[in-house]
Each structure stands twice: as C-alpha cells, then as structure tokens.
C-alpha cells in the first residue's frame, strides 16, 4: 500500500477557508541599524492564514517579509505605530522585525492563524534572488 | 506533454479565498503629485504585479490629504468624484477590492504614501482595465 500521500501545497485553497490554528508569540524587535541581518526573524511552523501584530513598545515597529524589507533599505516594511494593532490576511512562513528607532527596542505580540501547509512547501519570499532578478515584488 | 496550462482568470474564486501574498511598497517624499487645483493636476499610477485580494494605503504626509482611486480621472475628480480620501498621517481601511492598479493624488501639494496589499496569483494581464471612459461609453461605473 502506498503511503506517500499528496501534501497540501501553498495554493491549496481549502486550507485558507478553514479557521487558523492559533499561534501566539512575542518578540523584541532590536534597535534600528544599518545592517539588515540585525532583524529578528520569527518563523512559523506552518504557512499563515492571517496575522495580527500588536506593537507594545514605545516606538514604531517595522515588520517585513525579508530582512531587507524590514530593515527599510527598500521601503518594503509595514510600520506599526506604538500601541497600534494591525490584522492582515497574509500567507507567509517568516516575519522580520526591527524597531524604527535607533536607541529604543520594541516589544510586540504576534497572533497568527496557521494553515496545515508545511513551511517547507512554501517558497521563500524574497525580492533578491541569486541571478539578480526580482522574484517577489513588494517584499524587499 | 502539453505545458500550456490554463491560467487563473480574474474571476477565479479560489485565488481570492487564499490568503494574500504580501506586498509592501512606499513612495519617496513628494512622489505623489498634486491632483487638484489649477495648473496641470496629475496622479501617480501604481501597478501591482498580480491582482489584489485586498489593499491598504497609508498617507505619509502629515499635512495633506491623500486621494486614492482606480483611474486618473476618478482621482482628479474631473467629471465625478470617484476617490477615497485619507486624512493627513492616516490609514485607509483594509479594502477587499480586486484591482491591478491604483492612482494616488495629493491635495494642495505633493505627498507620499505607503501601500500594503495582499496579492492573488492572478497575473495582472488577465485583469481588465478599470475605467469609466471607453470610447465615451461607461465601462465600469464608480471608477471614473
């Protein structure tokens, strides 16, 4: 008997129709620097169905889907003001966080609804692939 | 083996059920032109690589109102006012609207904006141009 069942892929529509499996995490976004690698990366075990991010810090929070995007060199970051909460129906497997201030870190709460699509099935969202061609616009 | 697979069209329901692929971009300061008043009002057209599932626009100007619409004429308000206004330093709602391009204009001077969108996998070439003026015949009402 074959046991190599087909897996859900990133475009498996029913996965996004179901309510998400809860995933709650907190993170401390580091100081804003000139180095994108200083961003904090939050990885989800499965692909997200939706994201709710609350900025619990005293300064604005930068959220991106790649280190370059969150860092701000390419202007592909969502900026969340202090005390603000945002919700988006985004599918992704990683988030990158950085404070929007060079002298104050920023605490945040991330509540995600997850699908059961394994993160390995989902592509890496990046605007900078090896050959220099942009693969995902609006990511950084 | 045939590889000319059918593409998702503008009415492909599953593409809108799935969560959006993230897309975030912003203009440089002063990139959004003045769209009202005398002289030669103009708008900034932003094209998405794929059809949107939803989008949100943030006004990065602290002093000027930002207009958002789906055609150049709609934002300028040349015939009818088919635009949404976003207050200075404000954010729009998250609009669940499908489009492939939006037009931005700033009131009483130049401005700047940030766009956050969730994209479908429908290629923008598959989507019609949203316009209210095709050879003098209204194609899409409420667009301009």
Q: Which domain CATH number covers B33?
A: 2.60.120
Compute the C-alpha angle A103/A109/A113, nearest 5°. Answer: 145
Q: Taking an 8 Å Cβ-Cβ cutoff, which residues of chain B contact chain A? A: 14, 17-26, 48-49, 53-54, 56, 58, 94, 114, 116-119, 121
What are the pLDDT digits (tens) for B67-124? Answer: 999 989 889 976 678 899 999 999 999 999 999 999 999 999 999 999 999 999 999 9
Mean pLDDT in residue range A75-89 = 93
Residues with Cβ within 8 Å of B3's Cβ and at least 6 positions away in sequence, in order, are none
Say whether B23 and A13 touch across the interface (CB within 8 A).
Answer: no
Instruction: For residue B43, give its domain range.
Output: 13-126
Q: Taking an 8 Å Cβ-Cβ cutoff, which residues of chain A contact chain B? A: 11, 13, 15-17, 48-50, 64-65, 69, 75-79, 87-92, 125, 136-140
Q: How far apart are CA A64 and CA A51, in angstroms?
A: 12
Q: Examine residue B143 and state whether it is found in any structural domain, yes or no.
A: no
Closest residue by Cα to residue B114 from B68, B76, B50? B68
Mean pLDDT in residue range A32-58 = 93
Q: Which of A7-16, A64-73, A98-107, B62-71 has the lowest mean pLDDT?
A: A64-73
**What ipTM was reported for this prediction?**
0.81
Å between B56 CA and nearest CA of chain A: 10
Q: How far apart are CA B144 and CA B115, in angstroms?
A: 21
Q: Examine residue B78 and state whether it is found in any structural domain, yes or no.
A: yes
Closest residue by Cα to residue B116 from B44, B50, B22? B22
Domain total of chain B: 1
The owner of tokens 């609009």 is B95
Q: Examine residue B77 and state whether it is found in any structural domain, yes or no.
A: yes
Q: How far apart are CA A69 and CA B142, in angstroms?
A: 34
Q: What confidence category does residue A134 fall into, taking pLDDT thresholds of 50, 70 and 90?
A: low
| Mutate which: A87, A89, A114, A134, vs B, most B CBs within 10 A | A89
Q: How far apart are CA B94 and CA B104, in angstroms?
A: 16
Q: What pTM was computed for the model?
A: 0.87
Say whether A49 and B19 touch across the interface (CB within 8 A).
Answer: yes
User: DSSP secondary-structure letter at A101?
Assistant: S
Mean pLDDT in residue range B9-30 = 93
Q: What confidence category does residue A130 fall into, taking pLDDT thresholds of 50, 70 and 90?
A: low
Q: How far apart are CA B15 and CA B33, in angstroms?
A: 33
**Which pLDDT belongs to residue A34?**
87
Say whether B19 and A136 touch across the interface (CB within 8 A).
Answer: no
Å between A83 CA and nearest CA of chain B: 15
**Which pLDDT belongs to residue A47?**
96
**Which pLDDT belongs to residue A74?**
63
Give whole-number Cα distances, B61 to A5, B31, B83, in Å: 53, 11, 18
**Which pLDDT belongs to residue A48?**
96
Q: For A65-125, where are the E strands, in sequence order?
A: 78-80, 85-88, 94-99, 106-118
Å between A92 CA and nearest CA of chain B: 7
**Which pLDDT belongs to residue A56?**
94
Q: How far apart are CA A27 and CA A97, in angstroms?
A: 8
Q: Is the per-residue pLDDT at A73 higher than 70?
A: no
The CATH code belonging to domain A20-121 is: 2.60.120.10
Q: How far apart are CA B24 and CA A31, in angstroms?
A: 21
What are the pLDDT digits (tens) for B93-102? Answer: 999 999 999 9
Q: What confidence category does residue A126 fall into, taking pLDDT thresholds of 50, 70 and 90?
A: confident
Q: Using CB atoms, pick whichever of B14, B25, B116 lies closest to residue A88.
A: B116
Q: Is the per-residue pLDDT at B132 higher than 80?
A: no
Residues with Cβ within 8 Å of B29's Cβ and at least 6 positions away in sequence, in order, are B60, B112
Q: How many CB atoms lie within 10 A of CB A18?
A: 11
Q: Examine residue B137 and state whether it is found in any structural domain, yes or no.
A: no
Say whether B22 and A137 touch across the interface (CB within 8 A).
Answer: no
* CA dihedral for A82, A84, A88, A91, sign (positive or negative): positive
What are the pLDDT digits (tens) for B24-69? Answer: 999 999 999 999 887 789 999 999 999 999 999 999 999 999 999 9
Q: How far apart are CA B130 and CA B99, in angstroms?
A: 8
**Which pLDDT belongs to residue B6?**
84
> Percentages helix, strand, coil for chain A, rounded to the nearest 5?
10, 40, 50
Residues of B in contact with A15 (CB under 8 A): 18
Say whether B24 and A76 touch across the interface (CB within 8 A).
Answer: yes
**Which pLDDT belongs to residue A75?**
83
């Amino acid at each position: 008997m074959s046991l190599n069942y087909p897996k859900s892929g990133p475009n498996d529509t029913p996965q996004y129709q179901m309510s998400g499996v809860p995933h709650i995490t907190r993170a401390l976004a580091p100081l804003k620097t000139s180095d994108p690698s200083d961003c904090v990366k939050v990885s989800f075990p499965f692909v997200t169905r939706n994201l709710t991010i609350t900025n619990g810090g005293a300064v604005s929070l930068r959220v991106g889907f790649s280190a370059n995007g969150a860092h701000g060199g390419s202007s592909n970051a969502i900026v969340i003001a202090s005390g603000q909460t945002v919700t988006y129906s985004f599918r992704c497997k990683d988030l990158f966080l950085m404070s929007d201030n060079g002298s104050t870190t920023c605490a945040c709460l991330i509540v995600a609804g997850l699908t059961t699509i394994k993160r390995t099935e989902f592509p890496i969202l990046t605007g900078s692939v090896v050959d220099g061609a942009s693969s995902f616009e609006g990511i950084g | 083996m045939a590889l000319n697979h059918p593409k998702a069209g503008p009415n492909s329901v599953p593409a809108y059920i799935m969560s959006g692929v993230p897309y975030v971009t912003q203009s440089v300061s002063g990139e959004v032109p003045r769209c009202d008043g005398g002289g030669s009002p103009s708008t900034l057209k932003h094209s998405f690589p794929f059809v949107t599932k939803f989008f949100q626009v943030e006004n990065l100007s602290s002093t000027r109102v930002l207009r958002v619409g789906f055609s150049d004429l709609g934002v300028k308000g040349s015939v009818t006012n088919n635009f949404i206004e976003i207050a200075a330093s404000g954010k729009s709602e998250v609009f669940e609207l499908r489009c492939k391009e939006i037009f931005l204009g700033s009131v009483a001077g130049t401005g700047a904006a940030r766009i956050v969108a969730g994209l479908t996998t429908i290629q923008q070439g598959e989507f019609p141009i949203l316009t209210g003026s095709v050879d003098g015949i209204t194609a899409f009402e409420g667009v301009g």
